[in-house]
Chains A and B, each alone.
Chain A
Amino acid sequence: MAKYVTKRIIYMIITLFLIASFTFFLMKMLPGSPISSAPKLTPEQLAVVEAKYGLDKPLPEQYLQYLGNMVKLDFGVSFQFKGADVTQLIINRAGPSFQLGIQALVLGTLIGIILGMIAALKQNTVWDYGSTLIAIFGLSIPSFVFATLLQYWVGVKWELLPVALWKNGFSSSIMPTIALAIGPLATAARFVRTEMVEVLSSDYILLAKAKGASRFEIAFKHAFRNALIPLITVMGPLAAGLVTGSLVVEQIFAIPGIGEQFVKSINMNDFPIIMGTTMFYSFLLIVIIFIVDILYGIIDPRIRLAGGTK
């Protein structure tokens, strides 16, 4: 296992390096420069400012310098927030996104699993159709529609929860969490249902029934555990997407998250923030994929990896 983990970590570092390099050069290919929004500068002044940010140096030199700094977790200073430290900005902004992502993931997956299980156990009944309906709604209606509706009705009309803003503690996070949870909820419900239906009709379930296992035991110990494998495969990337923040939901609820900042920095050619957030996202995604792979082994002994058997 230790050998496997070491190998994986080395791969992860190589992957990050490749991502960093690709992003750097792709970003340099973006039209415009961070300073081109300053139409008031004369060419001489522009040159002075570019020199200040090191943009006048040849590309390879910029690249090496950037890689070197990145190892030290220094992503430089932002252009749009004049001179603000990018690493600090990411730390400040990642918190709310992370909290919402985790909450939405837990809420969505839990309800989704329950819905999926009910649907599978009560196949072709009104329960099944109901849960499928919810899943279809959840998949086909974008989260911002839920966000807007929730905000208007729960916030403005019924005055149950804060309309927006990130200042009333947990209650501020409820509506955005629900809006974000709809997607994973629907995905989880559908996967769990499909897998469980399949597993429930397999031979070993029949055997378990014959041995006199209770319905509860069959559902959880046998059927559910097997249904988890494909679920984890899809939930991994979904989780990465959630914790890195959602542009729309963050904007609608005026949450100081990282998702919104990422998109904005691309529009503004804010190179250091683009690089910083991309690396942060990639890191999260890679770690999550790693965790997913480890989880496979725990859930299903059949997938336990080389070296694991010893």
Chain B
Amino acid sequence: MKKSKLVWLLSLVLVLSVFLAACGGKDKDETKGTDNNTEKTNKPDAKQELNLMETAEIPTADSALVTDTVGFTVLNNVNEGLYRLNKDNVAEPAIAEGEPKVNEDGTVYTFTLRDAKWSDGSAVTANDFEFAWKRAIDPKTGSEYGPYMMNGVIKNAEKIATGKAKPDTLGVKAVDDKTLEVTLEKPVPYFLSLMAFGTFLPQKEEFVKEKGKQYAKNSDNILYNGPFVLTDWDGTGLTWKYKKNENYWDKDNVKLDTINVDVVKETGTGVNLYNSGEKDRAGLNGEFAAQYANDKNLVKTEEASVFYLKLNQKRGGKTDTPLANVNIRKAIAQAFNKEELTKNVLANGSEPANYLVPKNFTFDENNKDFRDVNGDMNKFDATAAKESWEKGLKELGVKKVELEFLGDDGDLSKKMDEYMKNQLEKNLPGLSIKLKEVPFQNRIELDTKQDYDIQFAGWGPDYQDPLTFISLWTSDSAQNKMSYASKEYDKLVKDANITYANEPAKRWQALADAEKLVVETDAAIAPVYQRTRIALQQPYVKDLVIHNFGADYSYKWAYIAGKE
């Protein structure tokens, strides 16, 4: 019995200590890591090892199948396409040696490839690109992004994706080992920025065929031609490593030897690992954002994702909703306080958006932000909102309107929905909002069926051009799903896409006019905020580059300085 007494005591002590300790509060929270900053040195340390976390597993490392940010980030660091995003988020030649030759009407691009090698020592050839792209568009591959990125861009892509043509007819051809000729459907002004996107990475035909179904299922079954190689990834696990790729053509500019990545889904756990010194960077959200708002190691990065309310004009695509009335839409678009929402409810550094195309995302030839053309539209204005509202109600001949507000079911989303409901009902007398919160998957299905009145949705860019946002709302767009149909808008988008494809200034203006039309004049959507990503990052981590579209991070230039 003596032994059990001891166990008893021990467990009591343990349990009690946990409780008592919990009451102690957080007095010495800030002691760690304070003297890291005193000596500012940028000389790389001897040990070049970076410790990172991801919030999700790698669903696939096959560039033809990848659809998520983790996958794109991994591929961006272990592989390299014709172009690569540089530190300033501008695509620049990578495997392509210098700028391509472009024919007069901008439809045929001829790339010359530099001497680059795969991780097995073989050369990266033009055929690797031809093969990978054809594989991505082949319906048999079942790629989502292949058709999405190539349709309307690369010749015959759409026909192949819908089974009306053979994958062989895709407009990409390896003229010889070093020359790749790409034929486009029409001039595409942003084509080169696409070349930095994961879907357009090369794959070595022999290797893919040899591995068959096992291709890219774990880190041994992929070839790498980028700054790093992937190791210790079993295909579904929560951990993987990057090691410097000794066969990379630009390896002299890669400083890190190893990056250890672990998947940590709980923000709190991530913060604990960061505080214990095990991890060098931890993403923050929700309550942690507020808690660490004044931390000196806080890093804010503006993303190019914009969130907005979709205002459905026809329920199920058939019957008119009150939102078919433009004044009602204008009223809703102006009736909620975005400043307060981003500052107090979201509280993660995100900024109110009075626009569709995010700021600091696209620039014209003179490096002027696209945002400067239209500036803010339909800002929060309770008085104007009420005026439009009353006008709209009169036109509809009703006194009361009930609308269903569809949102996601996460904690933060729910808080935001609650705030929106409150604001809209307060500022628009006679309006009652019914909240409907469902899992993401479900929301997408309801969106597809157009089974909602108002929907809180968002969009992240796929290429660096305002069109990635503007093209969402043409009447034939698969993403429209709110019965917004404006001939004028369609024409402006067509102008930007085709008519002015080779006239940048006019094209830019057409895109801006389209944005003004959809946001301000027609109030088809009501922009809410542009997201900011915040994280804690050790000051000894240098040059970890964060991108605002495509892959999230580039580790190529990152290094450790001042940790030791």
Contacts and interface: CB of A to CB of B under 8 A. Distances in A.
Interface of A: 31-33, 36-45, 48-49, 52-53, 78, 80-84, 88-89, 92-93, 111, 114-115, 117-118, 127, 130-131, 134, 137-138, 146, 148-153, 155-157, 159, 162-167, 178, 185, 216, 251-256, 260, 267-269
Contact of B217 (A48, A83, A162): A83
Nearest to A268: B441
Interface in B268-295: 268-269, 272-273, 275-276, 278
Which one of A83, A111, A251, A253 has the greatest number of beta carbons of chain B within 10 Å?
A: A83
Interface string B1-28: 1001101100110110111011000000
A252 B60 contact: no
Contact of B278 (A118, A137, A163, A166): A163
Interface of B: 1, 4-5, 7-8, 11-12, 14-15, 17-19, 21-22, 57, 59-60, 62, 65, 67, 139-140, 142, 144-145, 147-148, 161-163, 213, 217, 234-239, 262-266, 268-269, 272-273, 275-276, 278, 438-442, 444-445, 447-448, 478-479
A159 B275 CA distance: 11
A300 to B, nearest CB: 24
A267 B269 contact: no
A152 B19 CA distance: 12
Contacts, number: 168
A127 to B, nearest CB: 8
A37 B18 contact: no
Contact of B148 (A40, A44, A81, A93): A40
Contact of B444 (A39, A252, A254): A39
B447 A163 contact: no
A269 B65 contact: no
The SS class assigned to the A binding surface is: helix
A151 B8 contact: no
Contacts of B441: 31-32, 36-37, 267-269
Nearest to B58: A81
B21 A82 contact: no
Nearest to B28: A157
A84 B272 contact: no
A254 B11 contact: no
A45 B21 contact: no
A219 to B, nearest CB: 9
Contact of A93 (B15, B217, B236, B445): B236
A189 to B, nearest CB: 10
A167 B51 CA distance: 14
B217 A84 contact: yes
Contact of B142 (A52, A114, A216): A52
Contact of B273 (A31, A134, A163): A163
B161 A45 contact: yes
B269 A38 contact: no
Nearest to B67: A38
A133 B442 CA distance: 44
Nearest to A182: B15
Contact of B238 (A149, A163, A166): A166
B410 to A, nearest CB: 11
B5 A118 contact: yes
Contacts of A166: 238-239
Contact of A81 (B11, B18, B236, B276): B236
Contacts of B1: 216
Nearest to A154: B18
Given A36-B448, A49-B144, A254 B269 contact: yes
Q: Which 5 A-B pairs have the closest CB atoms?
A: A82-B60, A32-B441, A256-B238, A114-B4, A40-B148
A200 to B, nearest CB: 15
Nearest to A119: B8
Contact of B262 (A118, A165, A267): A165
A151 B162 contact: no
A116 to B, nearest CB: 11
Given A82-B60, A92-B234, A185-B11, 19 more contacts: A31-B442, A32-B439, A37-B440, A39-B447, A39-B448, A39-B478, A40-B144, A40-B478, A41-B148, A42-B147, A115-B11, A117-B4, A149-B18, A151-B272, A153-B18, A163-B278, A165-B262, A254-B238, A260-B265
B161 A44 contact: yes
Contacts of A153: 17-18, 21-22
21 contacts: A32-B445, A38-B67, A40-B144, A41-B147, A41-B148, A41-B478, A45-B139, A49-B142, A82-B65, A111-B11, A115-B8, A118-B4, A137-B15, A148-B268, A149-B22, A156-B276, A165-B278, A251-B266, A254-B265, A256-B238, A268-B441
Given A42-B478, A48-B139, A52-B142, A131 B264 contact: no
A31 B19 CA distance: 43
Nearest to A121: B1
Contacts of A53: 142
B177 to A, nearest CB: 30
Contacts of B8: 111, 114-115, 118, 127, 130-131
